[in-house]
Amino acid sequence: MRIGFIGLGIMGKPMVRNLIKAGHEVLVFDVIQSNIDDVVKDGATACESSKAVAEACSLMITMLPNSPHVKTVVMGEKGILEGAKPDTIIVDMSSIAPQASQEIYKACAKKGVKMIDAPVSGGEPKAIDGSLSIMVGGDKEVFDQVYDILMVMGASAVHCGEIGAGNTTKLANQVIVALNIAAVSEAFMLSTKAGVDPIKVFNAIKGGLAGSTVMNAKIPMITEGNFKPGFKIDLHIKDLNNAIETGHQVGAPLPLTASVMEMLQTLRADGCGQDDHSGIAKYYEKIAGAVIRK
């Protein structure tokens, strides 16, 4: 089918490529021309605005940084709602605040446009091989209608509840990932300073209770001193901001999240905002005066 796709960054590009490989016609827009050129080379068709994409497509996917970007693309000038016909479906796969998803959903409903929130976990490698975990909020009938398309990009797509529930689930995911990277960094700094080779520690414990997908993905990067993103510290700050704000609204204190947030803020102030979030290890390296390397 014909699909509109807005937001061609680290995640959007491989997701577009997988849709094209599965035989779909994909019309695209991004504010960065070189990102558009990259996917046009692979068979996508360029449009001049989000509005122009929406005029031509009854299914729209957005993959943008945060709430303000999705609001601009959907509700702003030359945005999707200016071009969309009633019954158009918008699948917002960005990680944004659940409250923003609810606000955008209401603006869409006024024009007869349907919207679900469907953020993802798995990062660039899983976007490339089409095995993302997708968490969805919104009307179940709309989820059922787009399920097959979601499964082109993901290995699983779970309907979590009403609009915003996908992003609430994603916030829980991001809290777990940030705290897990911090725990791994803290523990590996302990063993490094006590004189044990980090690779031996990793091999000894990865199959036990302390093992995790995060440890498997991040320890090889940390021990090589490779902090190329991946998932940027700046984006994780954005997610933890959304988590802390939501936590305060619903009365769920997040003391550990707040601590890791300050580590991320320290790293950003030190010029590391564009590093991969495995760079949390660098915070420990600074305060302990040692590096975790093989």
Known catalytic residue at 170: yes
Using the rule CB under 6 A, give the single segment among 31-39, 101-109, 206-214, 244-252 that binds ligand NAD. Answer: 31-39
Distance spanning both ends of the chain, measured CA to CA: 49
Q: Does 120 bind ligand NAD (CB under 6 A)?
A: yes
Interacting stretch for ligand NAD, rule CB under 6 A, among 1-9, 153-161, 186-194, 253-261? 1-9
CB closer to ligand NAD, 6 vs 261: 6
CA distances from 94 to 193, 199, 265 (A): 39, 35, 22
Q: Where are the beta strands (DSSP E) in 213-257?
A: none
Helix (H, G, I), strand (E, B) or coil at 272: coil
Q: What is the spatial distance between Cα 248 and Cα 114, in angstroms, rounded to a whole number? A: 29
The count of other CB atoms within 10 Å of the CB of residue 285 is: 19
> Nearer Cβ to ligand NAD, position 192 or 246?
246
Give residue for tokens 């199959």: 207
Binds ligand NAD (CB under 6 A): choice among 9, 43, 161, 273: 9
Return the number of the residue (88 or 101) whose C-beta is nearest ligand NAD.
101
- As measured in angstroms, the least distance from the Cβ of 70 to ligand NAD is 9
Q: Residue length, the chain?
A: 294
**C-beta of 145 vs 241, nearer to ligand NAD:** 241
97: contact with ligand NAD by CB under 6 A: no
**Helix extents (H) in 155-211:** 165-193, 198-205
Active-site residue identified among 126, 170, 232, 238: 170
Residue closer to ligand NAD, measured from CB, 30 or 285? 30
Q: Return the half-sphere exposure (C-beta side, CA atoms, 13 A cut-off) of residue 83.
A: 23
**According to the binding rule CB under 6 A, does residue 273 interact with ligand NAD?**
no
Element (H, E) at 70: helix 67-75
From the list 6, 44, 150, 153, which residue makes contact with ligand NAD (rule: CB under 6 A)?
Answer: 6
Do β-strands 114-117 and 59-62 pair in parallel, antiparallel, or remain unpaired? unpaired
Number of chain residues interacting with ligand NAD (CB under 6 A): 27
By the rule CB under 6 A, 32 interacts with ligand NAD: yes
If you write DSSP's letter for every residue of 210-265 in order, what string do you get? T--HHHHHHHHHHHHT----SSBHHHHHHHHHHHHHHHHHHT---HHHHHHHHHHH
Q: How far is the CB of 101 from ligand NAD (least distance, A)?
A: 12
Angle value at C-alpha 165, between 160 and 169, nearest 5 degrees: 80
Binding status of residue 10 toward ligand NAD by CB under 6 A: yes
Max alpha carbon distance in the chain (Å)?
64
Closest approach, Cβ 116 to ligand NAD, in A, equals 15
Contact between 237 and ligand NAD (CB under 6 A)?
no
Tell me which residues touch ligand NAD (CB under 6 A). Answer: 6-12, 29-32, 35, 63-65, 69, 72-73, 94-95, 120-121, 123-124, 230-231, 235
Residues with a catalytic annotation lie at: 170
